[in-house]
Chains A and B, each alone.
Chain A
C-alpha cells in the first residue's frame, strides 16, 4: 500500500509526460496548425444563395447547384495572396472536368473581375459574398479554403489554406477520384 502511494504519482506523471511527448512529436498532427476538424464534414451543404460578382462574370449560384454531381467549392478573394498561389492548382482541378464554384469572399466586385481576367477564370460560376455571411454558413475561417462536395450534396472534405501542388496531387486529386468513384 505504502509502496503504491510512492509509485502512483510518479507513474501518473510519467504517463502524462509520455502522452504529451507523443502528441507534441506527432508530426502529422503538428504539420498544419490550421488543421481543425471541420464540423461540416459529412453534412449537407449549408443553405445559401450568392449573386453574380459582376455582369461580366458567369455566376451567381446556390446550394442547389452543388447537388447531383461531385463539385468543388473554392473560397477566394483578389486581395488574398495565397489564393493567387493556389490558382494554377484550382485551374488544374477544373481541367479534370470537375465543376469548381468560386465563393468570392469579401471582395470588391471590380477587383475580383480584373483578377479573374488577368489570371484566368476556371470557375463554373462565381458568387459574391460581400459581407461574409455565406462564408460563415460554410464555417470558413479564412481564405483560401477548398471544399469537396459529393454527388449527394454532402461536404466530403475541407482543405484549409492554399492548395499547393503537393496537396493537390496527394490529397485533393485522390479524394476527388474516390468521391467520384464511390
Chain B
C-alpha cells in the first residue's frame, strides 16, 4: 500500500513537473530586449530540431538546437522579420525544419487531405442517413396484404385452430389466441363459408 502511494505521488509529481521543464533555452541565450526575446521564443517553437525531429529547438537540449536558437536571436538582433528568420533557417536545413509546413505544391495534399476526408465522410454519412431514414419510413406503413395472401393466411390460421381441440393444454390455448388475434386484425368477419370449406379441405389433405 505504501509503495503504491509512493508510486502515485511520484506520478503526480512527474505529471506536474514535466510540462514546466520542457523549455531548453539557457540563461546565457536570452536577449536583453524582452520583445525580441519573446519573438525569438515564438520562432524557436516553429523550428524543428533536426536531430531530434519531433521536438522544436525551443524544447530540445541538443547542441544543434542551441546553435539554431542562437542563430534565430542573431538574425533578430540584425533586424530580420520573423518570416525572414524562418526563411534563413529553411534555406539551410530545408522545409523539414519548419514544424508548420509551408503551403506549396508538394504539401497541397498534406494540407487539403484532412478537410477533403472530412467532406467525403460527411457526405457519405448524410447519404447513408437519408437512405436509412427513407427505408425506415417505408417500413412503418407496410402495404396491405393482397387478397390472395390474406386468403392464404386465413386458411393457415383456420387449419391451426381446427387441429386444436379446445382445452387441451397451453399450446392449443396459444394457437387459439394467435388465431383470434389474427382474425380480428383487419378482417373481423372472416369466418365466411368459403374459408371454412377451404380449411376442412386442407385439413383432410394433411390427415390422409
A and B form one complex: yes
Determine whether B124 belongs to the interface, using a CB cutoff of 8 Å to chain A. yes
Which residues on B are within 8 Å of A, measured CB to CB? 50-51, 63-64, 67-68, 70-71, 90-96, 124, 127-128, 131
> CA separation between A39 and B51, bound complex, in Å?
16
Q: A5-B124, A141-B51, A142-B51 are in contact. Are A132 and B67 (CB under 8 A)?
A: yes
* Contact call B68/A5, Cβ cutoff below 8 A: no
Per the 8 Å Cβ criterion, residues 49-90 of A in contact with B are none
Smallest beta-carbon distance B117→chain A, Å: 9
Count chain A CB atoms within 10 A of each CB in B71, B94, B95, B128 and give the residue with the most. Answer: B94
In the bound complex, residues from chain A placing their C-beta under 8 Å from that of B92 are 39-40, 46, 136-139
* Contact call A39/B64, Cβ cutoff below 8 A: no
> CA separation between A122 and B91, bound complex, in Å?
31
In the bound complex, residues from chain B placing their C-beta under 8 Å from that of A133 are 67, 70-71
In the bound complex, residues from chain B placing their C-beta under 8 Å from that of A40 are 92
Determine whether A97 belongs to the interface, using a CB cutoff of 8 Å to chain B. no
Q: A5-B124, A132-B63, A142-B64 are in contact. Are A38 and B94 (CB under 8 A)?
A: yes
Smallest beta-carbon distance B104→chain A, Å: 13
Tell me the dominant secondary structure on chain A's binding face. Answer: loop
In the bound complex, residues from chain A placing their C-beta under 8 Å from that of B63 are 106, 132
Given contacts A133-B67, A136-B67, 16 further A-B contacts (CB under 8 A): A2-B131, A5-B127, A36-B50, A36-B94, A36-B96, A37-B96, A38-B94, A106-B63, A131-B70, A132-B67, A136-B64, A137-B92, A138-B92, A139-B92, A139-B94, A142-B64
> CA separation between A139 and B96, bound complex, in Å?
12
Which residues on A are within 8 Å of B, measured CB to CB? 2, 5, 9, 36-40, 46, 106, 131-133, 135-142
> CA separation between A146 and B124, bound complex, in Å?
53
Smallest beta-carbon distance A168→chain B, Å: 24
> CA separation between A106 and B63, bound complex, in Å?
10
> CA separation between A37 and B70, bound complex, in Å?
24
* Contact call B51/A136, Cβ cutoff below 8 A: no
* Contact call B93/A141, Cβ cutoff below 8 A: yes
30 example contacts (A-B, Cβ-Cβ < 8 A) are as follows: A5-B128, A36-B50, A37-B94, A37-B96, A39-B90, A39-B91, A39-B93, A39-B94, A39-B95, A40-B92, A46-B92, A106-B63, A132-B64, A133-B67, A133-B70, A133-B71, A135-B67, A136-B64, A136-B68, A136-B92, A137-B92, A138-B92, A139-B92, A139-B94, A140-B64, A141-B50, A141-B51, A141-B64, A141-B93, A142-B51
In the bound complex, residues from chain A placing their C-beta under 8 Å from that of B51 are 141-142
Smallest beta-carbon distance A112→chain B, Å: 17
In the bound complex, residues from chain B placing their C-beta under 8 Å from that of A135 are 67
Name which residue of chain A comes closest to B66, CB basis: A132
> CA separation between A140 and B71, bound complex, in Å?
14
In the bound complex, residues from chain A placing their C-beta under 8 Å from that of B50 are 36, 141
Smallest beta-carbon distance B142→chain A, Å: 23
